[in-house]
Amino acid sequence: MANLKEIRNRISSVSSTMQITSAMKMVSAAKLKKAQDAITAMRPYSNKLTELLQTLSATLDADSGSKYSVVRDVKNVLIVSITSNRGLCGAFNSNIIKQTNALIKDVYSDKNVSVLAIGKKANDAFTKQNRVIANKSEVYDDLTFNNVAAIAELLMEKFIEGDFDKIVLVYNNFKNAATQIIMTEQFLPIVAMEGEANVNSDYIFEPSKQEIVETLIPKSLKTQLYKGIRDSFASEHGARMTAMHKATDNATELRDQLKLTYNKARQASITNEILEIVGGAEALNN
């Protein structure tokens, strides 16, 4: 019977775990809906703003380039690694950490690489390597454009002052609840639009194109970072919902197997007791 008691305890433990993972799945599903609506709503604006900026920038003379597009000899690189503050979301965080490590060891192996962590998981991973210059994990406490804009301004300031020659974003791009695409995106310097510019010469710019571009660039960079963090936020809840769904299914399967094992062990125990009774009765008769 001790064995049966152990199996009953395991069934109870697995059932409790299944209830927790099922509840976490429903919570993530509710949060995912809001996060997905937010990123879906801002993508057209972000894409159009980037397209407008690139089109206008391509028409400017080379001598009138922006301070945000200055290409320097790359010696110091800053990687903005965007993860989550919490785990239990499958490979969501580990994929970003692996990609950041791949950039450090392979792509920028001969550079001085630092990390700005957005998310406690990135901060924990790269603090051990003494690469973290700032931890902005608190942005998830109130994920608004203004709070993200402050981080973007910090990045722009460090690039202009020459602290870093190149700034790269690494984050999960939200495709759907089950699929997240790892993105490595250059933040600064701004990459010029390839191909010929398509700007109608009949347009009258007020103020000048140069002034418009100088105004649009900071706004575009802030929007780019906000979109990346929003993408990551939606991806986190999609990954957690998927992970908890799989965990619930696995717990259900394990519980069913344990119940089957319990019933078999109980049947065997009852059979043994019956055989002992029958054997004892026959011994008395003899």
CA–CA dist 49, 38 (Å, integer): 17
Phi-psi category of residue 119: left, alpha or beta, with phi > 0 → left and psi -120 to 50 → alpha: left
Tokens of 35: 């996060």
Query: CB under 8 Å to 13, separation ≥6 — which residues?
Result: none
Query: Helix, strand, or coil here: 171?
Result: strand
The phi, psi pair for 81, rounded to 5°, reads -95, 115
Q: How many residues does the chain have?
A: 286
- The amino acid occupying position 201 is S
If you compute the radius of gyration of the chain from its CA atoms, what whole number of angstroms results? 29
Among 18, 89, 155, 169, the active-site one is: 89
Catalytic annotation present for 108? no
Q: Catalytic residue positions?
A: 89
